[in-house]
Chains A and B, each alone.
Chain A
């Protein structure tokens, strides 16, 4: 129980920080809307139907990346991560708290992005919504771990995309597949498996990322 109390404490702190500073969610929303507007003008009408889902998923992955570059900014500025690491709680609670906050930020961005996608491109079906929800868990799991890793580096702006983008290719494959395939269940199961594998890996390795 204390583990989950720590997770709630840490996630609530991240949501409060965002509510105060408002530096991450507005940037994510503006970015994803701008990307969809640009895509809507750049894709020829005859290929639009098939390409549009791919473009949406590219937009969502880069929106997540934008949020993740700021994920540990508050901890980095005042070396607060040292303070959290020294607390007697399980260090994976820091990762889980951050992951929950990242999922919340993604949901807010997607609450604007999906209606915009419906407006500019294609109707939004249940398969797409289910795919996006499953993808959020995977993006946040991997992203929170890599963001913590990158936060300790001077080249974090370069390091995070270099580590994050190759690792989330399966999310794009699963997401596009779930949106377009006749049988989306297989792709949704694939996304669920990705979430489970990477959540367990990230949970188990976070301690080694934040300590020497």
Chain B
């Protein structure tokens, strides 16, 4: 599903990724680890097609609408409510039975009671859970998750564990994390960046 050969990415004179080779097959779970500044987020943005490689090649064989991307930022409008944000993405991604799917995700990630509140009033953990709802909304084949546990409390972490545990083996994952131990049991591939 993803094949990188000699993948490099620079920002000006700063080289963030250098000659990276890896492959991710359908239903694999790739865990990307490395210290701050090692290029984990850049790698995910490259896989999402938001950045272009400056060297080597990267082939991602999924359509735009089959990709779910959880970034550092939630990619949500602060002035819109949780429901309005998901409805916007649901329409743009042409999600069938949109309202039912949104309701189910909000229930599953314990945000149903806050559905009419503006995202700007959400805590960091609630925003992260809503961002996860956004990334899962259209049932993507490939999920690119950048530090999915960031900002989550114990309850949120347990919810995310359940979600990822349920989807691992059914979908393809590329997950960047500082805390590989938490996902070690579901990972099928590992990529360390330095």
What residues of chain A have their CB less than 8 Å away from a CB belonging to chain B? 2, 5-6, 9-10, 13, 16-17, 20-21, 74, 77-80, 82-89, 211-212
Contacts and interface: CB of A to CB of B under 8 A. Distances in A.
Is the contact region of chain B dominated by helix, strand, or loop, or is it mixed? loop
Contacts of A16: 79-80, 84
Most chain A beta-carbon neighbours within 10 Å: one of B52, B76, B79, B93: B79
Contacts of A20: 79-80, 118
A77 B77 CA distance: 9
A174 to B, nearest CB: 36
7 contacts: A5-B91, A82-B50, A83-B89, A86-B67, A87-B65, A89-B92, A211-B49
Given A79-B73, A88-B93, 17 more contacts: A16-B80, A20-B79, A74-B77, A74-B79, A77-B78, A82-B73, A82-B75, A83-B75, A83-B76, A84-B92, A85-B50, A86-B50, A88-B64, A88-B94, A89-B92, A212-B50, A212-B52
Contacts of B84: 13, 16
Is the contact region of chain A dominated by helix, strand, or loop, or is it mixed? helix
Contacts of B48: 82, 86
Interface in B82-131: 84, 88-89, 91-94, 118
A66 B78 CA distance: 22
Interface residues of B, number: 28
A120 B88 CA distance: 44
A111 B47 CA distance: 47
Most chain B beta-carbon neighbours within 10 Å: one of A2, A85, A86, A87: A86
A212 B69 CA distance: 17
B74 interface: yes
Contacts of B51: 212
B77 A80 contact: yes
Given A2-B94, A9-B88, A9-B91, A79 B79 contact: no
Contacts of B92: 6, 9-10, 84, 87-89
Contacts of A82: 48, 50, 69, 71, 73, 75
A80 B64 contact: no
